[in-house]
Amino acid sequence: MLESADNTLAYMDQGSYLALRALGRGPVIQYTWIYERGVDLDGLRRFHRNLSGGLLGRVLETSSIPCGRHRWVAWPGSGELDVADVEIRREKVWDWVEQRANTPVDPEFGPPWHLGVQPFVGGGAAVNLVVSHTVADAAALILSINDAVLGTGRYLNYPPPRSRPLRAALLQDTRTAIRSLGAIPAAVAGAARTARLQAADLTDSARSAAAVRTSECRQPVVVPTVSVAIELAEWNARAKALNGTSNVLLAGVATRIGAITGRVDDNGMAMLSLPVSERTEGDTRGNALNTITVIADPQRALTDLGEIRRGIKTELTRLGANREWMLAPLALTPFTPKFLLKRLEKLVLKVGKPIGSSNTGDMPEAVNRPDGTDADFFTSRLVEPGITAADFDRIGGRMMLASGNLHGKVCMSVVAWEPGAVNTKAALMDSVKRALDDYGLAPTVME
């Protein structure tokens, strides 16, 4: 389908890009499929070509004027499918996945994503997709994968890079900037209101900010990741028995892992951060989401998920009522200097010890079929290549749970780093197994 899309970046997408440039690093979404038998390389090459259409077939072009709005332009393509020449042993697959995560993507200079295949000794293979979060959030990526597998992609008719003459670019960008000025008063008012509401938290954050330990902490670290699969019927039955839903049970598991690893406040309460998708039909934003925060008792969540369920409902209602003024400050994004973005990471992300809990629910079956046939195993995660132990010291660590339902399974991943703790995959695996055992759930570990 051919359509002409407005190629002006949404404020949230521009903010994502500016943060990437200010910090020198940014999050990527990584999907991994494992085939215990061989893969259809022709099918994967077709999938690779189809991904180049739609929301993944673009990069951003910066404005020709300072503080202007950036624009999406067409990405000419991500080259050939990257098929490894040398087979590896099956148990080395996660080392390869880590290498793929650290293979650069860039939302401006490209590639905005890459797709790789790693054959195994004795048969089977892994397929891995890495996408810049500036270009697509989870919902956008799922839509893109589904379209690529089915061959129903959206071709958005973005202009080629640097196709505007300088004079035309200056005029167009200036007009866009002038039109955007109308949102500034509301943006300033919204920012002031937000600052007042968060002043106490930011003050506490600044007071408790940890110093960078030593220079060696500035080396990038490998953040432990654990992936498991649980029978969907078993998961749903447990959620229902505890007065919850699939989404709420994931939040409950998150609180338990937080309690086991010490990622709770002084009262033993867990701070859950849940993304809320705001993607609509035909939405071309890279990031169309918001976030709610729910405080939960990990001990109570073991026997009754009702408290978390009510908390989520309350925060969703509050988000709906306050959405306009909460989003209003985004209009200030083009005017935000790099030093302030760095400062905001130190302060805002340091408030409390948030635990991310992201459940995409039932995913289209095509998402599990990159080569046209069902993979035996699927997992997804959000990672930030280049992040260091010193970065984690500043922002207070990180924990993120992500899950989606595919092929009768709940596919769950946990990514975590806690300052001062033993940050190994084995330690995290033990915590995840203990938390799931607390709920009577038996996971299949993706080794």
The average confidence (pLDDT) of the chain is 90
Average pLDDT for 391-408 = 95
Residue 402 has pLDDT above 80, yes or no: yes
Residue 148 has pLDDT above 60, yes or no: yes
Q: List the domain boundaries for the chain.
A: 11-179, 182-357+403-445
What topology does CATH give the domain 11-179? Chloramphenicol Acetyltransferase (3.30.559)
Contact status, residue 375 vs residue 33, Cβ threshold 8 Å:
yes
Report which of 365, 438, 416 is spatially closest to residue 224, judged by C-alpha positions: 416
Average pLDDT for 345-366 = 82
Contact status, residue 8 vs residue 114, Cβ threshold 8 Å:
no
The predicted pLDDT at position 197 comes to: 62
**Bond prior to 111 in cis (omega within 30° of 0):** yes
Average pLDDT for 187-191 = 70
Report which of 104, 102, 100, 70 is spatially closest to residue 286, judged by C-alpha positions: 70
Query: Per DSSP, what are the bridge partners of residue 8?
Result: 71
Report which of 381, 369, 370, 363 is spatially closest to residue 417, judged by C-alpha positions: 381
Which pTM was predicted?
0.92
Digit-coded pLDDT (tens) for 266-279? 999 999 999 999 99
Give the pLDDT band of residue 53 (cuts 50, 70, 90).
confident
The predicted pLDDT at position 412 comes to: 98
Digit-coded pLDDT (tens) for 261-308? 999 999 999 999 999 999 999 999 999 999 999 999 999 999 999 999
Pairing of strands 354-362, 270-277: parallel
Q: How many CA atoms lie within 13 A of 231 on its CB side?
A: 7
Digit-coded pLDDT (tens) for 229-242? 999 999 999 999 99
CA 197 to chain centre: 26
Contact status, residue 136 vs residue 279, Cβ threshold 8 Å:
no
Percent of the chain with pLDDT over 90: 77
Report which of 104, 143, 96 is spatially closest to residue 26, judged by C-alpha positions: 104
Instruction: Quote the tokens at residue 260.
Output: 């086991």
Per CATH, 11-179 and 182-357+403-445 having the same topology is answered yes
With both helix axes pointing from N to C terminus, report the angle between 232-241 and 246-261 in degrees, rounded to the nearest 10.
Answer: 80
In which residue are the tokens 């970046």 written? Answer: 9
Residue 137 has pLDDT above 50, yes or no: yes
Report which of 244, 245, 422, 275 is spatially closest to residue 354, judged by C-alpha positions: 275
Question: May I ask the CATH architecture of the domain 182-357+403-445?
Answer: 2-Layer Sandwich (3.30)
Instruction: Quote the tokens at residue 410.
Output: 């709940």
In which residue are the tokens 């890009």 written? Answer: 17
| Max Cα distance, the chain (Å) | 65
